[in-house]
């Protein structure tokens, strides 16, 4: 079987051949497209380690079949920084020590970017905690994660206001 899909992957148009209909987006990225930044923690939608943005919304890559994604825009952790410039969420994770081992971190960061874009949490810690609860961190870096998302959210809002002014 051979199937081709077109993706916009981290801003780049790609034609991707799918060698097996069972391939998930996660295994496509990790095992076939040399993008292992997205992590596998459970492979069944229970941990959030594989969170990526699909058409701007956060999604568990382990739960999506690659073959169904023709035309989709995918952003992974590898596509977040612009060259040397970190995304504000990435910078805030370093500053607030929002991780220890770093294994859940790509998923946490993509989830935070998605959460901020959803616009429901703002910098309210309770809502951030709730909105980030689909991403398990076994190291227990939650305190730093919440602070990081709060700060990034604030900075991005301030930047947007500045840009609009």
Partner 1 sequence: MSDTLSPQIRFGSNAGQPATRRDGLAKVTGVATFAADNTPEGLLYAVYAPAKIARGRVSHLDVAAAEAHPGVTHVITPQNRPELQGDPSAKPTMFSFRTEVLQDDTVCYAGQPIALVLGETLEAATEGARLLAPQYVADPVRVALDDNLATSFEPAGFGLPGGASHGDVEAGHAAATRSIDVSYETAAQYHNAMETHAIVAQWDGDRLTLDTPSQALNLSCAGFAYFFGIPPENVTLRSPYIGGGFGSKAIPTGPQVLAILAARMTQRPVKLMFTRQQMFGPVGHRGATRQRLRLGVDENTALTVIDHEGLAETSTFDDFVEPAANASQDLYAAGALRASHRLVRLDVGTPGPMRGPGEASGSAALECAMDEMAEVAGMDPLEFRLRNYAETQPGTGLPYSSKALRECYAEGAARFGWEGRPLEPRQMQGADGLLTGWGMGTALFPCPMFAAEARATLRPDGTALFETSAVDMGQGAWTVLAQIAADSLGLTLDQVEFRAGHSALPDGGVAGGSGHTATAGGALHAAGGDVLRQLGELATEDPQSPLYGAGNSSLVARDGWLLLEEDESRRERFADILIRAGQTEMTGTGHGGRAPEAAGRHAMNSHGAVFAEVKVDPDLCQVRVTRLVGAFAAGRIINPRLTESQLMGGMIWGTSFALHEAARHDRRSGRIVNADFAGYHVPVNADVSGLEVITVHEDDPYVNALGIKGVGEIGIVGTVGAIGNAIWHATGKRVRHFPIRIADLLAP
Residue 101: Cβ within 10 Å count:
10
Name which of ligand FES, partner 1, none residue 159 binds, using a CB cut-off of 5 to 8 Å depending on partner kind: partner 1
Query: Considering the rule CB under 8 A, would residue 121 count as an interface residue with partner 1?
Result: no
- Report whether 36 contacts 30 (CB < 8 A): yes
Distance CA 94, CA 133 (A): 20
Site string for ligand FES, 55-94 (x = CB under 6 A): -----x-x--------------------------------
Provide the β-strand partners of residue 16. Answer: 5
Distance CA 96, CA 105 (A): 13
Name which of partner 1, ligand FES, none residue 60 binds, using a CB cut-off of 5 to 8 Å depending on partner kind: ligand FES
Residues engaged in binding ligand FES (CB under 6 A): 40-43, 45-50, 60, 62, 99-105, 137-139, 141
């Amino acid at each position: 079987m051979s199937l081709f899909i077109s993706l916009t992957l981290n801003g780049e148009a790609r034609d991707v051949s799918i060698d097996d209909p069972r391939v998930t987006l996660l295994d496509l990225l990790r095992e076939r497209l040399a993008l292992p930044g997205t992590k596998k923690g459970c492979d069944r939608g229970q941990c959030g380690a594989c969170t990526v943005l699909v058409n701007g919304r956060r999604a568990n890559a382990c739960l999506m079949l690659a073959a169904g994604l023709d035309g989709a825009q995918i952003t992974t952790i590898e596509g977040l920084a612009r060259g040397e410039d970190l995304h504000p969420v990435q910078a805030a994770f370093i500053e607030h020590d929002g991780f220890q081992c770093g294994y859940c971190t790509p998923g946490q960061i993509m989830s935070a970017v998605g959460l901020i874009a959803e616009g429901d949490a703002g910098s309210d810690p309770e809502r951030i905690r709730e909105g980030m609860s689909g991403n398990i961190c076994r190291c227990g870096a939650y305190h730093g994660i919440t602070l990081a998302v709060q700060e990034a959210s604030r900075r991005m809002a301030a930047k947007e206001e500045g840009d609009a002014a």
